[in-house]
């Protein structure tokens, strides 16, 4: 029988907790410059397709002229006459991100992929093996460049929020170290709204209680935030003092929602066009549910018009993953809620996805639809999205897909979205967006 050896104490220089945030520098633009040497050191503006009029991101050369993400293309060209418009290639960006995340796992298995271009690494348990945290952070920067030929900025601290804040301080290709014992003092003068997770609505609430900068938080009892926001409020109290307690989340939580949305031509009033967009989104939601072995019973269907969101949340008799059933529900909600308003965006979201139960009821119709869906999914998987689809979708929007903010290189979030930025998981759908807009005034 092997004798158990006592664990050796950590080195004297070891941090009690060490978190790295890797933040890619102008990720999409950097990939385009790497793949096209003629564009290196030139101002690029990435748009959603050749017809896109709003910048998804831009290179640092463009940012030097005052161009920024979200700016309209005509204004960007006024500020930077030499701006090169580049249609986004989301599949390419996803592939490069996947390679980077796989490389980072060679540093530590304790990794949380935060978005397509960000990841947290908990290296607390790796210090004896890998050495001082600052040395590990430098190695991470080198590894990203070796893997993908693009640069990243790295923040290192003792908690997630401070590490993420640190990564923003020296971009591009920077490294900022805030030791845990210095975090509270370094954050003291920082506006609370600069920390990740504190939006305008929460910022207004804090301002009403005299908290404008992180250092003000110590004067506000934690119970005030707990009563208003629950556990997230307690976390905010600690975040502002450089002691965010949230661990690096290495496991992907089951999806709370699965949805897709698409921005439409402004003020669309054509009934047929809107129905085509809703059918398009219903097909994508159904295919994604089936791909991950899920069904849902409650769906939200929304139309964004000038007065705000129109639509409804409805529950089916039984769970489904059939795009035809989802599309019929979307059509019914549309006919009930739309009164001719100009529509700017559509959204279809499964609100309660769960592992599929394919047990048929006694009076269930023939399961032929399930066989049809499986064949259609197999064909589309091999030959491309909508190689087989309802004929009506021949007239669907041809706007290219984009990467959802909730994208991950595996699991139910391994998907390229439909262009709205709202159709994702974990309450990133339109219904959640409506609640956020209400909260933010």
DSSP 16-75: S--EEEEEESSHHHHHHHHH-GGGTTS-EEEESSTT--BEEEE-HHHHTTT--TT-BHHH
Q: For 53-67, 77-91, 251-265, which range has the lowest pLDDT when averaged over its residues?
A: 251-265
Give pLDDT, residue 379: 73
Whether pLDDT at 439 is above 50: no
């690096």: which residue's tokens?
248
What CATH superfamily classification does 188-239 receive?
Answer: 5' to 3' exonuclease, C-terminal subdomain (1.10.150.20)
What average pLDDT score do residues 59-75 get?
94
Quote the tokens at residue 152.
């990243």
């705000």: which residue's tokens?
308
Q: For 193-197, 312-316, 343-347, 380-384, which range has the lowest pLDDT when averaged over its residues?
A: 380-384
Mean pLDDT across the chain, nearest whole number? Answer: 85
CATH fit for domain 258-358+366-440, picks 3.20.20.140, 3.40.50.2000, 3.30.1490.100, 1.10.290.10: 3.30.1490.100
Tens digits of residue pLDDT in 129-167: 999 999 999 999 999 999 999 999 999 999 999 999 999
Residues 285 and 259 sit within 8 Å (Cβ to Cβ): yes
Predicted TM-score (pTM) of this structure = 0.76
What is the b/e burial string over 375-394, where b = at least 16 CB atoms within 10 angstroms of the residue's CB? ebbeebeeeeebeebbeeee
The pLDDT confidence band at residue 414, using thresholds 50, 70 and 90, is low
The pLDDT confidence band at residue 418, using thresholds 50, 70 and 90, is very low
- Kind of pairing, strands 84-87 and 111-115? unpaired
The pLDDT confidence band at residue 2, using thresholds 50, 70 and 90, is low
The separation between CA 358 and the C-alpha centre of its own chain, rounded to angstroms, equals 31
Residue 399, class by beta-carbon neighbours within 10 Å (0-12 exposed, 13-18 middle, 19+ buried)? middle
Give pLDDT, residue 403: 66
Give pLDDT, residue 49: 79
């309209």: which residue's tokens?
72
C-alpha to C-alpha distance for 41 and 39, rounded to whole angstroms: 6
Task: Spell out the long-range contacts of 61-67 with Cβ–Cβ below 8 A and sequence spacing 24 or more.
Answer: 62/29, 63/26, 67/43
Strands (E), 88-142: 111-115, 118-122
118 is catalytic: yes
Give pLDDT, residue 398: 59
CATH fit for domain 27-91, picks 3.40.1170.60, 3.90.180.10, 3.40.50.620, 3.40.228.10: 3.40.1170.60
DSSP 8-state secondary structure symbol assigned to residue 191 = B
Domain extents for the chain? 27-91, 188-239, 258-358+366-440
Whether pLDDT at 372 is above 80: no
What is the b/e burial string over 182-202, where b = at least 16 CB atoms within 10 angstroms of the residue's CB? ebbebbbebebeebbebeeeb
Alpha helix locations (H) across 149-257? 160-167, 183-187, 200-208, 222-229, 231-239
Q: Which of 118, 252, 414, 428 is catalytic?
A: 118
């Amino acid at each position: 029988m092997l004798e158990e050896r006592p664990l050796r104490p950590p080195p004297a220089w070891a941090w009690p907790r060490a978190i790295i945030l890797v933040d890619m520098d102008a990720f999409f633009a950097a990939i385009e410059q790497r793949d096209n040497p003629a564009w290196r050191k030139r101002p690029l503006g990435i748009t959603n397709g050749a017809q896109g009029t709003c910048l998804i991101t831009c290179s640092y050369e463009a940012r030097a002229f005052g161009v920024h993400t979200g700016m309209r293309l005509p204004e960007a060209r006024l500020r930077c006459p030499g701006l090169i418009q580049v249609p986004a290639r989301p599949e390419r960006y996803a592939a490069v991100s996947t390679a980077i995340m796989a490389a980072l796992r060679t540093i530590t298995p304790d990794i949380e992929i935060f978005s397509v271009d960000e990841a947290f690494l908990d290296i607390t348990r790796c210090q004896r093996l890998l050495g001082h945290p600052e040395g590990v952070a430098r190695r991470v920067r080198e590894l990203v460049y070796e893997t993908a030929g693009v640069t990243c900025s790295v923040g290192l601290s003792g908690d997630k929020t401070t590490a993420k804040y640190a990564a923003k301080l020296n971009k591009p290709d920077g490294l900022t170290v805030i030791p845990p014992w210095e975090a509270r003092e370094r954050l003291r003068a920082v506006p609370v709204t600069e920390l990740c997770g504190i939006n305008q609505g929460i910022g207004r609430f804090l301002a009403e209680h005299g908290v404008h900068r992180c250092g003000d938080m110590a004067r506000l009892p934690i119970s005030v935030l707990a009563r208003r926001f629950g556990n997230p409020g307690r976390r905010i109290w600690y975040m502002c003092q450089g002691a965010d307690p949230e661990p690096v989340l290495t496991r992907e939580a089951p999806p709370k929602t699965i949805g897709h949305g698409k921005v439409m031509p402004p003020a669309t009033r054509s009934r047929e066009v809107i129905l085509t967009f809703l059918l398009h989104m219903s097909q994508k939601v159904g295919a994604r549910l089936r791909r991950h072995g899920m069904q849902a019973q409650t769906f939200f269907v929304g139309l964004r018009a000038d007065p705000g969101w129109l639509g409804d949340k409805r529950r089916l008799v039984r769970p489904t993953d059939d795009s035809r059933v989802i599309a019929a529900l979307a059509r019914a909600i549309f006919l009930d809620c739309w009164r001719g308003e100009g529509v700017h965006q559509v959204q279809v979201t499964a609100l309660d996805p769960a592992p599929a139960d394919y047990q048929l009821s006694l009076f269930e119709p023939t399961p032929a639809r399930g066989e049809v869906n499986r064949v259609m999914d197999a064909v589309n998987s091999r030959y491309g999205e909508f190689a087989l689809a309802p004929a009506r979708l021949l007239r669907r929007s041809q706007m290219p897909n984009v990467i959802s903010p909730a994208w991950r290189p595996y699991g139910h979030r391994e998907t390229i979205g439909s262009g709205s930025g709202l159709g994702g998981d974990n309450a990133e759908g339109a219904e959640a967006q409506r609640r956020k807009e209400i909260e933010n005034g």
